Chains A and B, each alone.
Chain A
Amino acid sequence: MQLLEGEKELILACVDEVLSNNSKNRENLIPILQKVQVRLGYLPPLAMEKIAEGIKVPPADVYGLATFYNQFRLNPPGKHQVKVCLGTACYMAGGDITLESFERRMKIKESETSPDRLYSLERVACVGCCTMAPVVVVDEEVEGKVTPTRVDGIMLALNEENDKSNLEQEPEQGRMDSDELK
């Protein structure tokens, strides 16, 4: 994942601050990763390397820990975050097919983010409305009974929204310029 302009400095500053506020023990690795993720939204490789350096463990160990726990994400959250439920009920109702449809449509795999950072795709385990299985959470909206056809509909709506915000020519602070989105 390409870093955005100014993101490198942001990462370095964030890691520096978190490290200086925590004792640099190996036992503190999880809390440090959590704090960095809260601020940056994800764990960029650069941050993991700097943390490893700071608490004197091999970067491979930080990577191992970050990939072991589901709560750590290695890719930045997209502008639109799609969470596909693969809890028991959703799985039985074909949640895996829904996930696959999104993967095809977004051209990314589960837990990845599209290179333009417009979309990120995650699998979750039960969002608490199994009667609507298979369930998908698009940004904050819960969508029920999501078939591959519905996936197309969701993607169409998201694309339209993106096009509209492009036309308005209002690049949000900290996001990419609109011409870079295409």
Chain B
Amino acid sequence: MSEYVNITIDDRQIKVRAGEKLLWAALDNDIYIPHLCAIREKERPNAGCRLCFVEIEGDTRPATSCTRTVEDGMVVRTRTPRVDRLVKTAFELILSDHNLKCRECPANRNCALQTIAKKRGIKLRQGRFKTIVREFELDESPDDFAFDRSRCVLCGQCVWADREVAKTGAIGFANRGLNRVVTTFRDRPLAESNCAKCTFYADVCPVGAFYYKKAAE
């Protein structure tokens, strides 16, 4: 097997490393595919955000590009009516319980959700699903950063950074369904956990859930 394979994404011929996942192959070649939960180094992708759908010629249904390995001669479309519909629905569901006070958010103009909305022409204020506003206590216990769960999209980037980069294991997912949150053991404030007080969380958060206190001022 050769080291590189040729694939076609949106009529563009590109040469990518064999074994690469479709999502990263596209992003490396400046072809935009929305994504939140994808982590390049992670062997088994979460595939939880359901935003990176593409249509692959020969497949009966759209596939998540973060889980598909490139194959020689693959023909991929990033925008088809079916893909757009799936992405729009997934995006609107994410937004339905997201705190949309963008003006108060430190990630304003630097937010993955705003990028996706702009690139795909989807409104941030969706009206299709019932809006769920949840009250969370703001965790400002660490010195440099804070955690506002009302802005969290549960992408898992911070949990990954916590486990694989910081190697602490201070945070994880808890509860189920609509109550699912990123939290510490027994919901303690971050400063009371074994959180190493590093700022990885704030660095990797694609939205404004983990943020630097300085940036918020």
Contact = CB atoms under 8 A, between A and B. Distances in A.
Interface of A: 45, 48-49, 57-64, 67-68
Interface in B147-204: 163, 168-176, 183-186, 193
A59 B184 CA distance: 8
A67 B185 contact: no
Interface string B134-149: 0000000000000000
A49 B186 CA distance: 10
A68 B169 CA distance: 18
A62 B186 CA distance: 10
7 contacts: A48-B185, A58-B163, A58-B172, A60-B169, A60-B184, A64-B174, A68-B174
A61 B172 contact: yes
Q: Is the interface of B mostly helix, strand, loop or mixed?
A: mixed
B173 A64 contact: yes
Contacts of A58: 163, 168-170, 172, 185
Given A45-B186, A60-B169, A67 B163 contact: no
B178 to A, nearest CB: 13
Contacts of A63: 172, 174, 183, 185-186
B172 A64 contact: yes
Contacts of B171: 60
Given A48-B185, A49-B185, A60 B172 contact: yes
Nearest to B171: A60
A45 B186 CA distance: 8
Contacts of A60: 169-172, 174, 183-185, 193
Nearest to B175: A67
Nearest to B176: A68
Contacts of B185: 45, 48-49, 58-60, 62-63
B36 to A, nearest CB: 20
A58 B193 CA distance: 11
Given A45-B186, A48-B185, A60-B184, A68 B175 contact: yes
Nearest to A70: B176
Contacts of A64: 172-174
Interface string B27-66: 0000000000000000000000000000000000000000
A119 to B, nearest CB: 22
A62 B183 CA distance: 12
A74 to B, nearest CB: 8
B104 to A, nearest CB: 29
A61 B168 CA distance: 12
A61 B184 CA distance: 9
B84 to A, nearest CB: 33
A49 B184 CA distance: 12
